[in-house]
Homo-oligomer: A and B are copies of this chain.
Amino acid sequence: VRTIKIVLAYDGTGFVGWQRQATGRSIQSEVEDALARIEGARVAVVGAGRTDAGVHALGQVASFRLESPIALPSLQQALNAMLPPEVRATSVAEDAPDFNARFAARSKTYRYQIVNTAIMNPFLRLYAWHVPRALDLEAMNAAAGLLRGTLDFAAFQAAGSDISGTVRTLSVSRWTSQRDGGPAGGAMLCYEVRGDGFLRHMVRNIVGTLVEVGTGRRPPQSIEAVIASCDRGAAGPTAPAHGLWLVAVEYDN
């Protein structure tokens, strides 16, 4: 029995999310179904991050145990031949016997993309949030900086969650103006965030709040009161799923 670590890139459009559900296509079920054909038996796949419906990944990491003696390059080829074209295994490697993609993850890096132009780029409509109002990037960055460090993120947790430990550490929390927003010109704004863990909808709730800072509805410093409140009602709305990307999962070694 080998323990395998794979890196996956996927277009989350049209999936119910990472996790297998009673109905609908999930990334996990696509990978598990492909592996079951290779193994000739059910294979349980553990993902580092449970991305929601519509969320994309460049570097999701997953792990599983395999009895089959198939060589790793053949495993990668067979997986990519069976997976739908929206999902690609970009790397396949053997790891330590007790490796678990979820529990061994030291941190995760997400990116949230906003196209800040009057007219949306039609090629980014499923991959970035269109915010036509003018956004003050400097104010958004000042607010983003207040989220760095070890803080209680309860105010940014999806309503109805009953996770008791809501303290997380963010080592990166910043906005950049990445590149052209498309044929009509204009800016693509990217929020990059790295943390040791994320609560449900946390990145999307942070982005929804920081966009309210960008439009002038909230001053940057008000983020401190939102954090202190531990109240979901004090933060802004949840940004749409399709602007969110799981960029990478970081491990020791």
Contacts and interface: CB of A to CB of B under 8 A. Distances in A.
Interface of A: 7, 9-11, 56, 58-59, 80, 85-91, 119-123, 125, 127, 182-184
Contact of A9 (B9, B90, B127, B184): B184
Contact of A125 (B86, B89, B182): B86
21 contacts: A9-B121, A9-B122, A9-B123, A11-B122, A11-B123, A56-B123, A58-B183, A59-B183, A85-B120, A85-B125, A86-B122, A86-B125, A87-B122, A88-B119, A88-B122, A88-B183, A88-B184, A90-B119, A90-B184, A91-B184, A123-B127
Nearest to A76: B119
B88 A120 contact: yes
The 8 residue pairs across chains A and B that have the minimum distance between CB atoms: A9-B183, A90-B184, A58-B183, A85-B125, A11-B122, A88-B122, A90-B183, A86-B122
A65 to B, nearest CB: 24
Nearest to A125: B85
A85 B122 contact: yes
Contacts of A58: 183
The residue in A7, A10, A119, A125 that gathers the most chain B C-beta atoms within 10 A of its C-beta is A119
B10 A122 contact: yes
Contacts of A9: 121-123, 182-184
A119 B91 CA distance: 10
